[in-house]
């Protein structure tokens, strides 16, 4: 997978889409729900180390999903509300 850095393309990932993502899901399942990520740190060896994919919405909200061995280990939803950042973090450690 190659990083996508195209300023004309932005995700439109809703909070409802984010809530569908579960810890332990496979990366392919996440891509079906969220589509292609706007940015990633994926390398050819990334199946063996954590990989972070980021979807950034036009309103500034972001979804970050961390994968280890192609499975979700952490998910974060960042939302801007009237100059205030709201953050929801779920990891396999706080289930």
For residue 46, give the DSSP letter. Answer: G
**For residue 92, what is the enclosing H or E element?**
none
User: Looking at residue 54, what is its pLDDT?
Assistant: 92
- Closest residue by Cα to residue 78 from 28, 22, 18, 5: 18
30, 6 Cβ separation under 8 angstroms: no
Q: Where are the domains of the chain?
A: 15-91
Instruction: Assess if CATH 3.20.20.80 describes domain 15-91.
Output: no
Per-residue pLDDT of the chain (95 residues; tens, 9 = 90+): 334 343 345 678 888 999 999 999 999 999 999 998 887 665 555 456 788 899 998 888 899 999 988 999 999 999 877 656 676 777 776 55
Query: Does the predicted TM-score (pTM) go above 0.95?
Result: no
């Amino acid at each position: 997978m190659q990083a996508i850095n195209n300023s004309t393309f932005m995700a439109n990932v809703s909070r409802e889409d984010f809530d569908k993502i579960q810890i332990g899901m496979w990366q392919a399942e996440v891509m079906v729900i969220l589509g292609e990520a706007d940015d990633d740190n994926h390398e050819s060896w990334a199946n063996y180390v954590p990989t972070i994919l980021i979807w950034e919405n036009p309103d500034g909200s972001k979804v970050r999903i961390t994968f280890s061995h192609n499975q979700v280990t952490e998910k974060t939803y960042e939302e801007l509300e009237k100059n205030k950042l709201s953050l929801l973090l779920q990891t396999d450690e706080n289930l």
